[in-house]
Amino acid sequence: MNYLGSRSVVFAEVPVDAVGQSETVAVGGEMPRVSVRVRVPRSVVLDKDPSKIVRLYVDVGGLGLGEKELPVMASVLRQRVELADITPAAITVKIDPVAERDMFVRVVPSGNPAAGYRLGELKAEPEKVRVKAALGFFEKNAGGLEAAVDIEGAETSVTADTRVGANGALSVTPQTVRVTAMVDPAAESKNVAIKAKITGETSAGYFIKGVSVVPANAAVSAVRERLAGLGSLETEEISVAGASMDIERDVKVVLPAGVELLDKDLKPKVKVEIGLLEGTKEVLASVAVAQVEEELWVESVSPASIKVALRGQPGALASVTGEDVRLVVSAARKEAGRFTVVPSVESVRTPDGVRAVSVEQKEISITLREQ
């Protein structure tokens, strides 16, 4: 080439191939990279990818095992391009025996799911591929071979047939695997009430005077749809069968499917106060809804009545029936739709001389509709 009117172009970190590998020996480990300088007429525009201009290689054919220093050879692929020099001119290559093994496929996601979604389980089918390569290849890739999957902006799980990344291996079977990246709605969190689940009947002449749970609330996480319908959590069962004295116990919280506690070790302390029934009576009180907004009406109340334990003067108690006692639930500032309440003693209205001492711990559901 006439160097007048030419220019030099240097490519750094150019990969070097190995030729002459066989079924029994091959290059182990990563091949060194080199720099290449070429000369080209100023009028010629070169591609930025050196692999389209020159191919570099070492010949390992017929060599024995171990480290070898080999000259780097080149084939110029582009017309009007002349090789000037290669730095370094020789590289050290390790020749290893060839082995054949099963290797796990490791799914590698790229990008991020859409806002409000999260990446879940990653899996490949099959989970392993058969690889033939130099021993050094298996040492370098001890963590498995990569198979990429793009999840950028995904709102649903992504499945794709992907080529296994095995640069340097002699063969991979199969070369393509089916990869799946599970994309799920991202979990949100909120605080919900904890209710004690009481079972059994106290000893004759005794009643449940009160129930306390500490802490009274728990922070939980779940997908938005599941959290929307979650108002409270129950503890595991606490039996008061035959009880005549207070019960205090650390208990677990029962979690619905798909719901998790932020505090994995949370065990609320439940105290059940047992009181002596003297001059007491249990009635089935009707549930009344008060303070309903003018534009609304009560469509349903469930249950319509609830057990209330009363205490008072024997004469007053004897004449009291369920018709004389009401459990009043406030609907103040409530909008159309369904809401629930847990009854309290303070909500019970009784005749003079009689007072409520306990209320059945049963959630009441009220549905309001627009007029």
Residues 258 and 202 in one domain: yes
Q: Look at residue 1 and tell me if it is in a domain.
A: no
Q: Which of 181-185, 226-230, 324-328 has the lowest mean pLDDT?
A: 226-230
In a domain, 225, yes or no: yes
Q: Do 121 and 191 fall within a single domain?
A: no
**Which pLDDT score is estimated for 10?**
94
Quick: pLDDT tens for 60-84: 998 889 999 999 999 999 999 999 9
Q: Which residues form the domain of 315?
A: 279-371
CA–CA distances in Å: residue 13 to residues 33, 35, 82: 5, 6, 19
Contact 46, 81 (CB under 8 A): yes
pLDDT in tens, 84-104: 999 999 999 999 999 999 999
pLDDT of residue 1 exceeding 50: no
Q: For the chain, how far is it from start to end, CA to CA, in angstroms?
A: 96
Cα dihedral across residues 158, 161, 162, 166: positive or negative: positive
Domain of 73, CATH number, reads: 2.170.120.30
Give every CB contact of residue 130 below 8 A, 6+ residues apart in sequence.
Answer: 100, 101, 102, 172, 173
pLDDT of 229 reads 84
Residues 299 and 343 in one domain: yes
Identify whether residues 150 and 125 lie together within a single domain.
yes
Which of these three, 157, 185, 213, is where a domain ends?
185
Q: Are residues 175 and 204 in the same domain?
A: no
CA angle 331, 335, 339 (to 5 degrees): 60
* Mean pLDDT, the chain, whole residue set: 91
Whether residues 196 and 146 fall in one domain: no
Residue 67 domain flag: yes
pLDDT of amino acid 226: 84
- From 70, 97, 124, the end of a domain falls on 97
pLDDT recorded at residue 278: 67
Strands (E) in 262-359, as ranges, are: 269-276, 280-290, 296-302, 305-312, 326-330, 337-341, 348-349, 354-359
The region of weakest confidence among 216-225, 306-315, 331-340, 347-356 is 306-315
pLDDT digits (tens, 9 = 90+) for 245-303: 999 999 999 999 989 999 999 999 999 999 876 688 899 999 999 999 999 999 999 99
In a domain, 154, yes or no: yes
Q: Say which amino acid occupies 342.
A: V
296 shares a domain with 268: no
Q: Does 67 lie in the same domain as 82?
A: yes
Q: What pLDDT is recorded for position 4?
A: 55
Q: What does residue 186 show for φ and ψ, rounded to 5 degrees?
A: -70, 145
Say how far apart CA 335 and CA 291 lie, in whole Å.
12
Q: Do 316 and 268 share a structural domain?
A: no
Domain stops at, among 97, 132, 155: 97
Reduce the DSSP state of residue 352 to 3 states and report it: coil
Q: For residues 189-214, give the mean pLDDT.
A: 91
Instruction: List the beta bridge partners of residue 329.
Output: 289
pLDDT attached to residue 87? 95
Mean pLDDT value of segment 17-28: 89
Helix (H) or strand (E) holding 165: none
Same domain, 370 and 309: yes
247 within 8 A of 238, measured Cβ to Cβ: yes
Which pLDDT does position 314 carry in this prediction? Answer: 64
Co-location of 295 and 260 in the same domain:
no
pLDDT tops 90 at residue 139: no
pLDDT in tens, 305-325: 999 999 886 667 888 999 999
CATH number at residue 179: 2.170.120.40
- Give pLDDT, residue 180: 96
Q: What is the total count of domains within the chain?
A: 4
**Residues 298, 224 within the same domain:** no
With beta carbons less than 8 A apart as the criterion, state whether 310 and 317 touch: yes
Count of Cβ atoms closer than 10 Å to residue 9 Cβ = 16
